[in-house]
Amino acid sequence: MRIIAIIVGVAGVALMASCRSTKKISTVVAKKDSVVVVVKPEDSDSAKSVRATFRTINEKRLAFNTFASKVRVDYSDDKNTRLDFNAFLRMKKDSAIWVSIIAALNIEAYRVMITPDSIFIMDKLNRSIQRKPLSYLQGITQVPFDYGTLEDLIMGNPVYLDRSVVAYSDQGDRISLSTVGQSFKHYLTVAKGDLHLLFSKLDDVDMARSRTASLAYSSYVPAGGRQFAEIRNISLAEKNKLEINLDFKQVEFDAPVSFPFSIPKNYKVLY
């Protein structure tokens, strides 16, 4: 299961959430020297301003045809596991996500292919291959995501940002929004000037769960006419805790990409 967690981290599926109450969300938003506004009634000037900000955030989502990058991954958990490695990531919009994980001595340890309906994991060290439906990842993470959500996570686009904005906070150089959807309460912070995503906190609306996910985005750089967050810090917790730090390098948009994934005949097929 560890490699699944790492692959999930590399692919950006950092979507566990805690069961804080709306009152606690408001407490987080209400920092010193900030202005907290509960977004009601719907026809108020403040509500109109928040809706305009929300609309602009969605309009600034990064679009792409293809994407490629080298990613430095640092993984740690509460069982004192520490791993660091490089991964090569390639994507084609609505088609495939390909990951090659490089271990010590520059040896490729795993190769992963994710399609809109399946995930293939090739263990090159143990000469085995697993094929699972994409819903398998939903099962082990208990998060209702689809292939498009995976793409958004890798791009650094906000996910599960529901239109039901319940509060926002103007903190001078940044703006925070709180939304409540069917599955998640989402606390989102963006830079005030360019609305770049800075921080995302997801809370499970199911009060029986105690899941939490924090995602921080930094080091925005120009890439292919876009602004891309090269540094991602991910913290996940429920019964166990883990942290994944991603450092994207050699980012390239809309260049030709290939997805080599030939399976040797002597590999074991695991189910």
pLDDT at 46 over 80: no
pLDDT tens digit string along 131-173?
Answer: 888 887 766 666 677 889 889 989 999 988 877 788 888 888 9
Alpha helices per DSSP H over the chain = 2-11, 22-29, 45-59, 135-141, 147-155
Determine the pLDDT at residue 225: 94
Determine the pLDDT at residue 28: 36
Comparing C-alpha atoms, which of 94, 93, 88 is closest to residue 110? 88
pLDDT tens digit string along 64-105?
Answer: 999 999 999 888 888 888 888 899 999 999 999 999 999 888
Q: Determine the residue type at 150.
A: L
Better pLDDT: 236 or 38: 236
- Across the chain, what does the average pLDDT equal? 80
For residue 161, give the H/E element and its range.
none
237, 14 in Cβ contact below 8 A?
A: no
233, 201 in Cβ contact below 8 A?
A: no
Judged by DSSP in three states, 138 sits in helix
In order of their start, the domains of the chain are 2-259 (2.50.20.10)
Judged by DSSP in three states, 4 sits in helix
